[in-house]
Homo-oligomer: A and B are copies of this chain.
Amino acid sequence: MALKHTILAFLSRQPLSGYDVAKEFAEGFGSCFWKASQQQVYAELTKLEQQGSVTYEAIPQPGRLDKKIYSITGQGQQELLDWLTKPCEPTAIREDLGVMGLAGHLVPSSVVIREIERRRQLHLDMVQQVKKLDQHFAQNLDALELKDLYMHLIIRRGIRYQEEWVTWCDEALAAIAQAVNR
């Protein structure tokens, strides 16, 4: 389970509130690599706190519930470290669009084409979004410390992934158009 470890990893970089962690999953690093809902994040933070992997400092907020700023503990850091040291397995793409490859012939080709065109645009937008994440790290690459270099490299993987989808959409659209006009 990487949700737990992804949260620990976020907190190993800086203390964050649950809201901030959820935002990381929705908009930042997580948007490309690992999505988690607010509820999942809050539930996991509560569990991690009970287990002693994280602690929080409650910031009183006038007239509403305290804001909790979570930090990783020594124990949490050790857990993360142990996990990082163990080999991890690649995961399947788990992409709904794949089903089109199996059964696309059941729907009119126009439906397939429309869907691929839609996806092309979505991935194009994602390229821009993920590139923004990289802006901070992509500057003077030669002087980057390891911490930032790792971040840069993995973000590059995300960018490439999205770019590859755009390329694939173009190729697929061309191939389908050719086959249909035959």
| Residues of A participating in the B interface, judged by any CB pair closer than 8 Å | 2, 5-6, 8-10, 12-13, 29-35, 77, 80-81, 83-85, 87-107, 109, 111-112, 115, 118-119, 122-123, 126, 141, 144-147, 149-151, 153-158, 160-161, 164-165, 168, 171-172, 175-176, 179-180
Contacts and interface: CB of A to CB of B under 8 A. Distances in A.
A30 B92 CA distance: 8
A84 B101 contact: no
B115 A88 contact: yes
Query: Which 7 residue pairs spanning A and B have beta carbons closest together?
Result: A101-B154, A9-B102, A88-B96, A9-B103, A33-B98, A105-B147, A104-B150
A161 to B, nearest CB: 6
